[in-house]
Structure 1
Amino acid sequence: MTDPSEQMRDRFADMMEATRLTGAGRLAEATDLIQRSLGGLATPRDAPKAIEPPTLDLTAERVDDPPRAASWTQATAQPQASTRTESAPKSETTTKTEAGLAGPIPEKLRAAVDGVVRGLAPVLKGLAAKGLTPKGLAPQAPGFGFAKPQTPDRSVETAAGAGSVVTKSFAGPAGTREYRLFVPSRPQVPAALVVMLHGCNQTADDFAVGTGMNRLAERDGLFVAYPVQTGRANAQRCWNWFEPRDQGRETGEAAIIAGLTRAVMAGHAIDPSRVFIAGLSAGGAAAANIARAFPDLYAAVGVHSGLAASCARDVGSAMMAMQMGAPGPGGGAHVPTIVFHGEDDTTVSIRNADQVLAQAGAAALTPARERFDGDGRPYTRTRYADAAGRVLLEDWRVRGAGHAWSGGDRAGSFTDPQGPDASRAMLDFFAAHPKGF
């Protein structure tokens, strides 16, 4: 009988070869190879449940909303729960990918590769049927060929008090995007600006409702911009975080969002030291890319269920990163970062949260961990401070949560109302981190 570990290595090699064939435009061969590979490995009874074809957004269970936290003027979140504070080893949340695979490696690798190859197969099959090559597909990225059907656009009325939402369009050298802009009725002078990037299969309106960010922004006098990803740029309306052309300063979506941000700043009384960016899933990964590319523009970044900047270079490496975690490049300026991730997220591995923190410089900081057990989901918050005691990073791990915006509103998609309020926590973190704080 063949050794399962040897079979697993063979399957891994098959997947990598299929990725190479895809890049060479040999889609039919890649599809045949994956189909043969899928039939070559039996799953033992004690192996983890097979992973479904990868998506970037899953529908979360919606339960009662948790209590909301305090206002923007509060520099740090004050969770309403019993707490335990302790020192966390520096290495705990900056573990390398190899260490993250500790334990029964063949079983974990089996589940991860199953997810990758099963997700990649329909993409290759669909492209081959259309006679497309990756080069011909470049203007319309595949969005990973998600099994979940694309949700239709829907306009959601925003409960934003007396504030207003206007639709605008930005056009620059790198491209054009529409965006929604929330304008508070009594803005701070000058006001802070938060740029929010939605996830796959979401709209800007839906994301605004699900996060509840407009309601908080009205109370605190903040502007919020919601760039709109188009179906032409990506079939599932994912931000193309995995494409090299969309990760840097000069081209693609990073340059578009930065230009859009500057346009809002030029049209309103925005404080240039209080401009922030955040996102969910593909939007979280894109936010990490953009903050790293433009540390001169954004004072801090929020990454919810996302990945490290530039951790993938194509569809194949993106799928691997989602399922197994992947480090982004080091160096460059470190932007203050707040991370949210569900511990039960099977869409984007929680190891990616470790990689976001590592890229943000966690290894050079001193962590302090607090555990909260309130009426909602229990969670752990770890704050990373420098030698002067300034908190530069926050890491929120929510037990029992999947791939959804923590503490979100059930009226939006991909939300988990039972978790701690990520929107409030991010605004509190941003309030404490103006540029040059």
Structure 2
Amino acid sequence: MIDANMTKRMEEATRLTRAGKLHEAMAILRGAMPDGKNETREEDAPDKPYRKGNTFEGSWQVVDEEMTASKPDSGSRRTDEPRAQTDSFSAAGPANQASTWGVPGSDIGVPSAWRDKWLKFRGALTQTERAQPESAQPAHARGATEEALPGTFTAGRFTNQVGTRDYKLYIPSGHNGQPLPLIVMLHGCTQNPDDFAAGTNMNRLAEEQLCCVLYPAQPMTANSSKCWNWFKAEDQQREGGEPAILAGMTRQIIDTHGLDASRVYVAGLSAGGAMATTLAMTYPDLFAAVGVHSGLPHGVAQSLPDALGAMQGGTGPLGGSGAERTSGWASLVPAIIFHGDRDTTVHPSNADRIAAQYAAARKGSETASEREGNAGVTVERGQVANGHAYTRTTHHDAKGEPRLEQWRIQGAGHAWSGGSAQGSYTDPKGPDATREMLRFFYLHQQGQRSAS
């Protein structure tokens, strides 16, 4: 249970961080009084590096002295996680780690209830959320790569007036200059493009169904756990922040490779799913459809307490109240949403909130005759052979075409449904989110939204 004083301290720490007073914010998060009576250790001094190890700025390739592929520690930590992600929460752990949310020192002396929430979102899944046993997980999942495919998977870098991000791009062997569709894939926290490609199997399906796949990379210089900053106000707007970088990168890839600008799609997992829906809200003229897996709605958080509250399924600094929170945003972009009903990292109620942002836009745009002819909503229940059961709810437009699909997967946690064990945060028990997203995407292209 978190008391009111703790909530106030967290809000004050957020305010100080925004004001650039990082050392004061660190003291608040430790429970120190503003008079600064607590002793400051040498490694916490503001002129010291915030993280050990060597980080190549602007690149998704990171060499970190704290990363390990050793044997699991009593089954409580994935072998491919940096040791600091667990040890930094202990009393003797490193004191100079930055938090998932970019608040310096928030791993230090933070009350256990808050630490648990950070730990989950950083990627240390609880035992009940594991999609497969530790022995089945790859030793180096964070740097995983798929077995060789006949297409090309190359690295690049994009820079505009807002910032720079590296990326990887898969071009199928069947590309001979024709205008193919483009899928933009946004990884989750602690992941990278290779890991995400391996876990989702998107490149394999791209080779099969002829499309290109772009994997932007979030560096640790932008977020210490490589999360997309979906919860920051400056990264929730058109022509600003991370959305502007990602949209600019997408447009450059389209122009450089002669791709079909009317068939551009975006999908993501967790923090990447939240940023995917942000792109659908802020760039509906660029993306023809969006896929959100285990993500959050757009615009419901503008601070650390907001983010944690939204992740827990409620409002306010801690959430958990079950109350709806709307951001006022809506989009006509067709959407397909996946969420496991046992996700304890991002509460499953967020899937309903995401869907509401798209459904509200459709209802507002329909004419009376369209509403009368609307095929409505269908609900389908199914079971993957030797896998998870699921419920798929589909909202149709006046022509009977699916405009919104919501998949609720029974027994699944915070992991990509139907993914490969070659990547992190995957659940091979299905259904196959990658294949279903591509099916849904290919039903839509720019210029077809008048019937929605």
Q: Using structure 1 for the length normalisation, give the TM-score.
A: 0.71
**Counterparts of 2:291 and 2:273, CA distance in 1:** 7
Q: Residue 122 of structure 1 contacts residue 145 of structure 1 at CA under 8 Å; is this kept in 2?
A: no
Give 2:161's aligned residue.
173
Kindly state the Cα deviation for residue 161 of structure 1 after the two structures are TM-superposed.
2.8
Q: What SS does the corresponding residue of 1:303 show, helix, strand or coil?
A: strand
Are 1:265 and 2:254 matched, yes or no? yes
Are 1:163 and 2:151 matched, yes or no? yes
Kindly state the Cα deviation for residue 13 of structure 1 after the two structures are TM-superposed.
2.8
Amino acid at match of 2:399: A
Give 1:232's aligned residue.
221
Which of the numbers 429, 432, 441 marks the counterpart of 1:430?
441
**Counterparts of 1:18 and 1:171, CA distance in 2:** 37
For structure 1, which segment, 337-346 or 249-258, has the greater mean C-alpha deviation from structure 2 after superposition? Answer: 249-258
Give 1:372's aligned residue.
382
Q: What SS does the corresponding residue of 1:273 show, helix, strand or coil?
A: coil
- Post-superposition Cα deviations, 1:186-233, rounded to whole Å, max 9, x if no partner, equal 138210000000001111101000000000000111000000110111
Amino acid at match of 1:341: H
**Mapping of residues 332-411 of structure 1, within 5 Å:** 332-361=330-359, 364=363, 366-375=376-385, 376-411=387-422
Q: What SS does the corresponding residue of 1:284 show, helix, strand or coil?
A: helix
Q: What SS does the corresponding residue of 1:278 show, helix, strand or coil?
A: strand
Give 1:87's aligned residue.
none
For structure 1, which segment, 242-251 or 396-405, has the greater mean C-alpha deviation from structure 2 after superposition? Answer: 242-251
Q: Residue 160 of structure 1 contacts residue 218 of structure 1 at CA under 8 Å; is this kept in 2?
A: no
Q: What SS does the corresponding residue of 1:357 show, helix, strand or coil?
A: helix
Q: Residue 59 of structure 1 contacts residue 404 of structure 1 at CA under 8 Å; is this kept in 2?
A: no
Kindly state the Cα deviation for residue 132 of structure 1 after the two structures are TM-superposed.
9.8
Give 1:416's aligned residue.
427
Kindly state the Cα deviation for residue 313 of structure 1 after the two structures are TM-superposed.
0.3
Q: Residue 139 of structure 1 contacts residue 233 of structure 1 at CA under 8 Å; is this kept in 2?
A: no
Kindly state the Cα deviation for residue 149 of structure 1 after the two structures are TM-superposed.
8.1
**Counterparts of 1:166 and 1:291, CA distance in 2:** 26
Q: What SS does the corresponding residue of 1:169 show, helix, strand or coil?
A: strand
For structure 1, which segment, 206-215 or 235-244, has the greater mean C-alpha deviation from structure 2 after superposition? Answer: 235-244
Query: Which structure 1 segments of 5+ residues have no match?
Result: 1-7, 35-57, 61-118
Aligned pair in 2 of structure 1 residues 394, 20: CA closer, same or farther (>3 Å)?
same
Q: Using structure 2 for the length normalisation, give the TM-score.
A: 0.69
**Counterparts of 1:205 and 1:398, CA distance in 2:** 26
Q: Residue 384 of structure 2 contacts residue 431 of structure 2 at CA under 8 Å; is this kept in 1?
A: no
Are 1:279 and 2:279 matched, yes or no? no
Kindly state the Cα deviation for residue 359 of structure 1 after the two structures are TM-superposed.
0.6
State the number of aligned residues: 343
Are 1:146 and 2:119 matched, yes or no? yes
Are 1:185 and 2:173 matched, yes or no? yes
Greater relative CO (CA pairs within 8 A, separation 6+): 1
**Counterparts of 2:287 and 2:384, CA distance in 1:** 33
Kindly state the Cα deviation for residue 17 of structure 1 after the two structures are TM-superposed.
1.3
Q: What SS does the corresponding residue of 1:360 show, helix, strand or coil?
A: helix
Kindly state the Cα deviation for residue 335 of structure 1 after the two structures are TM-superposed.
1.0
Give 1:293's aligned residue.
282
Aligned pair in 2 of structure 1 residues 152, 215: CA closer, same or farther (>3 Å)?
closer
- Post-superposition Cα deviations, 1:350-403, rounded to whole Å, max 9, x if no partner, equal 010010000112583832110002311000000011333232100000000000
Aligned pair in 2 of structure 1 residues 139, 360: CA closer, same or farther (>3 Å)?
farther
Are 1:32 and 2:31 matched, yes or no? yes
Kindly state the Cα deviation for residue 126 of structure 1 after the two structures are TM-superposed.
9.8
Which of the numbers 209, 212, 217 marks the counterpart of 2:201?
212
Amino acid at match of 1:184: P
Q: Residue 299 of structure 1 contacts residue 433 of structure 1 at CA under 8 Å; is this kept in 2?
A: yes
Kindly state the Cα deviation for residue 177 of structure 1 after the two structures are TM-superposed.
0.5
Kindly state the Cα deviation for residue 122 of structure 1 after the two structures are TM-superposed.
6.0
Aligned pair in 2 of structure 1 residues 398, 272: CA closer, same or farther (>3 Å)?
same
Query: Which structure 2 segments of 5+ residues have no match?
Result: 17-23, 34-76, 80-85, 108-114, 125-138, 316-324, 364-373
Aligned pair in 2 of structure 1 residues 13, 138: CA closer, same or farther (>3 Å)?
closer
**Counterparts of 1:332 and 1:24, CA distance in 2:** 28
**Counterparts of 2:165 and 2:97, CA distance in 1:** 29
Kindly state the Cα deviation for residue 32 of structure 1 after the two structures are TM-superposed.
2.6
**Counterparts of 1:154 and 1:338, CA distance in 2:** 26
Give 2:9's aligned residue.
18
Q: Residue 179 of structure 1 contacts residue 228 of structure 1 at CA under 8 Å; is this kept in 2?
A: yes
Kindly state the Cα deviation for residue 265 of structure 1 after the two structures are TM-superposed.
0.4
Kindly state the Cα deviation for residue 291 of structure 1 after the two structures are TM-superposed.
1.4
Amino acid at match of 1:146: L
- Post-superposition Cα deviations, 1:82-111, rounded to whole Å, max 9, x if no partner, equal xxxxxxxxxxxxxxxxxxxxxxxxxxxxxx
Amino acid at match of 1:356: I
Give 1:81's aligned residue.
none
Aligned pair in 2 of structure 1 residues 355, 59: CA closer, same or farther (>3 Å)?
farther
Amino acid at match of 2:223: N
Aligned pair in 2 of structure 1 residues 431, 24: CA closer, same or farther (>3 Å)?
closer
Q: What SS does the corresponding residue of 1:191 show, helix, strand or coil?
A: coil
Q: Residue 325 of structure 1 contacts residue 352 of structure 1 at CA under 8 Å; is this kept in 2?
A: no
Q: What SS does the corresponding residue of 1:208 show, helix, strand or coil?
A: helix
Q: Residue 98 of structure 2 contacts residue 224 of structure 2 at CA under 8 Å; is this kept in 1?
A: no
